[in-house]
Amino acid sequence: MDPRDNLSSMENNAISKVFADVAVLLQAKGENVFKVRAHSKASDQIKSLPYSIADIADDTDRLREIPGFGDAIVEKTQELVRTGRLGLLERLLEELPDGVLELVQIPGIGPKTAVTAAQQLGISTFEHLAASIESGEFQSLPRISKKGAAQILRHVNMRIEVGDRIGLGPATALAERVIVELLEASPEIEMIEVAGSIRRGAELVGDINFVAASRNRWPVTAAFRVLSMVHQDLTHIDGVGGRDRATARFADSNGVEYSIFVTAPEYFESAMFYATGSIAHGKRFDELADENESLIFGPEGFFEIIDGIQVEFESEEQIYKRFNLNFIPPEMREDSGEIEVASDRDFSGIITLNDIRGDLHSHTNWSDGRYPMEEMVKAAAGRNLEYLAITDHSPSATVANGLKPDMLLAHNNAVRELEESAGVRLLTGTEMDIKPDGSLDYSDELLADLDIVIASIHSGMDQDEATMTQRVIDAMESPHVDVICHLTARLMERRAPVMMDVEAILEAAVRTGTVMEINASPDRLDLSSDHVRLGVDLGVIFAVSTDSHRTWQFENMSYGVRTAIRGWVESNQVINAFHYAELVAFLTLPKSERYAFNKSRG
């Protein structure tokens, strides 16, 4: 994607990225460090705003109230919002070789190395970079060691594997934007939902699919084809959008493709069932329909073989019942054993968002959170959480402004004082770094005073598999480490997971009585659903937490819950589905007794 493409209806993330790109390119050119920081800070500020900066772009005074927004940044913001372009970015892209912005996305490659690689080696794509590393050519560049190149190659291969897919979080935001705009343009729509990979909660999404219900179908597809996001109408390409089927398809300026199928309201549930997939799950139902010898299954739903009449279903539950199966949640429809057990197993115990009673991972501006403790707590209370753990970072997380021991004590006091008027029960806590040697950031005495301790990897991510695995297990052996959070330290679409034996770590979690976090941040989704499923098979207990740094990020809980569903987690395996009193009882027990306690709950 060319960043110079017109960015219509610009949102905060898009504007933030433009400023971040400018900062990178300025640094690559060797520009004044203060100029680089100004654009980088502007990027951070815009991303943190609780409102759309586009809404205030014409109000110069309000823009100047944003920290770090001087006249130059204000002018650039207004230029971006009004035109969808930024002259400075375009000039920088023309002055620097192709591929710099792509290369700096890879951990281990800074702006200057990116420029050198592009100029001297002609590297402009991830594929070129991987080939250069494998040939040994890339290692000839200054400051690139053999070990460093190997680590870079891990991240590059991850990016190549991701391909044109985007993360579940960004895809969901795009889908919501389409639905809002289409509903405004098409009053004929009676129902509309997103289907496909998004509905199944897949961590990466290739295209975005919708199903709508309307008595007047063709105006809906016509409106879909002229939405503001349409860059290329694909409706009649490769046979999409036949004469008899109300379908349409388009691509946006970033190459993301969107499709819609419009059906009559009485067939909406059948169409949603088909469009949700997965393809493998759908094929199994095609086979079941054949075995039934009375139905045909296709994109529009189910038809009777004898007379060709389309079968109406009021719900997906009825569809499963027709085949003598219990309802299978959309997230579990991957043909990974769910159909084989659905005739006997009731999935009603699978975790849902309504089961979540608290959040055990959040940050405030005591460390790297963007909002004061009072505002984060107010936001949690506003989401009707029963309890919240405030887990600011420990000293080793220097870039996250980690708390030294004296500050942790003050932090604890602040949490306890705030609880008196919070409207939500508060737990004192820390997100403590697991150091490269497996030791912990705080003394046992300090940790014993906390209500909950979550521990994670933030440094030394290039360790080999055996060392990294033992590092995490050593932390689990501590009687004070309650939860291991975002185990693999991956960042979706940006950073590959660290090398470790996940199965050995999950086995150690059961042995040591340690809880494993399913991090709900759409940037992480860590544990992955595959690792969660493995954990379920091993008997692991989980916490689903948002890792919120901003007030609105508590909304991300749904992503974590959906990852848990994909891993077949039941609500009785999730500690933040406990009532507060149960959670306190669990955390008060020695770790060796906690798993047995959970089993005793039934």
Q: In this predicted model, what pLDDT tens digit does every residue of 142-151 receive, in sequence order?
A: 989 999 999 9
Q: How far is CA 194 from CA 221, 232, 250, 285, 408, in A?
A: 15, 20, 15, 21, 44
- The verdict on residue 91 lying in a domain is yes
- Domain match, 465 and 588 both: yes
- What confidence tens digit (pLDDT) does each residue in 1-47 have? 333 333 333 578 889 999 999 999 999 998 999 999 999 999 999 98
- Domain match, 154 and 172 both: no
- Domain match, 48 and 140 both: yes
C-alpha–C-alpha distance, residues 50 and 73, integer Å: 19
- What confidence tens digit (pLDDT) does each residue in 203-218 have? 999 999 999 999 999 9
* Domain range enclosing 439: 353-361+431-600
Q: What is the CATH number of the domain that holds 290?
A: 3.30.210.10
- pLDDT at residue 2, rounded to an integer: 39
C-alpha–C-alpha distance, residues 22 and 81, integer Å: 16
- Domain match, 575 and 524 both: yes
C-alpha–C-alpha distance, residues 258 and 256, integer Å: 7
Q: Is 493 exposed, middle or buried (0-12, 13-18, 19+ CB in 10 A)?
A: middle
- Regarding predicted confidence, which is higher, 532 or 493? 532
- Domain match, 483 and 591 both: yes
The residue-averaged pLDDT of 420-433 equals: 96
Contact in structure between 447 and 409 (CB atoms under 8 Å)? no
C-alpha–C-alpha distance, residues 113 and 121, integer Å: 11
- The verdict on residue 135 lying in a domain is yes
Residue after which a domain boundary falls, among 228, 263, 298: 263
- The verdict on residue 215 lying in a domain is yes
- Domain match, 154 and 171 both: no
**Peptide bond preceding 278: is omega within 30 degrees of 0, i.e. cis?**
yes
Give the closest residue to 278 by CA, choosing from 232, 328, 333: 333
Q: What is the CATH number of the domain that holds 559?
A: 3.20.20.140
Contact in structure between 238 and 263 (CB atoms under 8 Å)? no
- The verdict on residue 415 lying in a domain is no
* pTM for this model (two decimals): 0.92
Band of pLDDT at residue 306, cut at 50, 70 and 90: confident
- Three-class secondary structure of residue 166 per DSSP: strand
- The verdict on residue 89 lying in a domain is yes
C-alpha–C-alpha distance, residues 115 and 80, integer Å: 26
- pLDDT at residue 293, rounded to an integer: 65
- The verdict on residue 211 lying in a domain is yes
- Domain match, 209 and 298 both: no
Q: Specify the number of domains making up the chain.
A: 4
Q: What is the CATH number of the domain that holds 104?
A: 1.10.150.110
- pLDDT at residue 48, rounded to an integer: 82
- Domain match, 16 and 154 both: yes
- Domain match, 252 and 337 both: no
Q: Say yes or no to pLDDT of 243 above 80.
A: no
- Domain match, 195 and 340 both: no
Single-letter code of the amino acid located at 255: G
- Domain match, 558 and 454 both: yes
C-alpha–C-alpha distance, residues 77 and 58, integer Å: 10
- pLDDT at residue 244, rounded to an integer: 59
- What confidence tens digit (pLDDT) does each residue in 276-301 have? 999 999 999 888 887 876 888 888 88
- pLDDT at residue 550, rounded to an integer: 93
- Domain match, 454 and 567 both: yes
